Amino acid sequence: SNNLCCVGIIENKISSAVFNSVSSVLLPGWCWVNNYNHSHKGRIWVGWNPREVDFLVNASSVQAIHASDFNAIRDPPNRIGSSNAWIPAFDEFRDCLTQAGLDDLRYTGYRYTRATSSGLNPKQRKIDRVLVNGRWNSEFSFSEASFIAPGISDHTPMFFNFWMTHPEFSAMVSEAWHSPFHGSPMFTLCAKLRLLKCKLKQLNKESFSDLSMRTAEARRALQSTQDALQADPLNSLLAE
């Protein structure tokens, strides 16, 4: 939806031996450059769609931009709703950034990037950051990071089991599984799965039609709520 024509991938830790095979599958038809000359683990990839943009590498150097989930806050305003305790790791993180000469890149969008609870005790923190050095700021003063709505993501893979919410699902599976078929075990298994597939397709048509439209509407409603929660992070009604 963002119509990307140029991307940067950092901290991928993919070896140079499989760079070509992985990048060609990742975005077919795109062109890529990397920094394997500076790091054998290939910390930085830059890819672009040659049908949309022309890209010329003027120089390659050690890493100047870092984007990640750092699992530590930098300053007290980077959290809300949680304990006020200040642990040594936070000072260590801030000292590390100072010693490395790194600072936050200007950003738009969400300030708090991680929510760990909801309801009456919402806790939010800014632990996802894009850090740059002074040279980056001098040469790319126009650059900025964008922290968009997390949607359904909480850094954990999701399993969409919407069929299982239907009251007839269990009975439908049981009926297909106990249907009499004769033949080898593999033939019997495949026959039962084909029967179940037909039943699920009909269930999907009758009860879950226009799912893409419903999902899009739900995502819009979720983002609207998340936007409001950023402006009022202690609102328990929004958090629920």
Query: How is the chain split among helix, strand and coil, in percent rounded to 5?
Result: 40, 20, 45
- Please state the length of the chain: 240
Q: Give the pLDDT score at 51.
A: 92
Q: Are strands 79-80 and 128-133 parallel, antiparallel or unpaired?
A: unpaired
Q: Give the pLDDT score at 156.
A: 35
What digits encode the pLDDT tens for the residues 120-140?
667 777 878 888 888 888 877
**From CA 129, how far away is CA 73, in angstroms rounded?**
10
Q: Which residue has the higher pLDDT, 109 or 41?
A: 109
Q: Are 98 and 133 in contact (CB under 8 A)?
A: no
Q: Give the pLDDT score at 30.
A: 94
Q: Are 73 and 126 in contact (CB under 8 A)?
A: yes
What digits encode the pLDDT tens for the residues 40-61?
777 788 999 999 998 888 777 6
Q: Give the pLDDT score at 160.
A: 44
Q: How large is the C-alpha radius of gyration of the chain?
A: 24
Tokens for 7, please give them: 């991307």
What digits encode the pLDDT tens for the residues 66-92?
777 777 877 777 777 766 777 788 888
Is the pLDDT score of 234 beyond 60?
yes
Q: Distance of CA 17 to CAs 21, 162, 233, Å?
A: 9, 41, 46
Q: Distance of CA 179 to CAs 163, 172, 182, 189, Å?
A: 20, 11, 10, 11
What digits encode the pLDDT tens for the residues 148-174?
777 665 443 334 456 777 888 889 889
**From CA 198, how far away is CA 235, in angstroms rounded?**
46
Q: Which residue has the higher pLDDT, 66 or 180?
A: 180
Q: What is the mean pLDDT of the chain?
A: 80
Percentage, residues of the chain above pLDDT 70: 86
Phi first, then psi: give them for residue 89, nearest 5 degrees.
Answer: -60, -30
Q: Give the pLDDT score at 47.
A: 93
Q: Are 18 and 26 in contact (CB under 8 A)?
A: no
Poorest-pLDDT segment among 5-19, 141-155, 161-175, 196-210: 141-155
Tokens for 19, please give them: 């760079």
**From CA 104, how far away is CA 78, in angstroms rounded?**
12
Distance of CA 5 to the CA centre of its chain: 18
Q: Give the pLDDT score at 201.
A: 82
Is the pLDDT score of 28 beyond 70?
yes
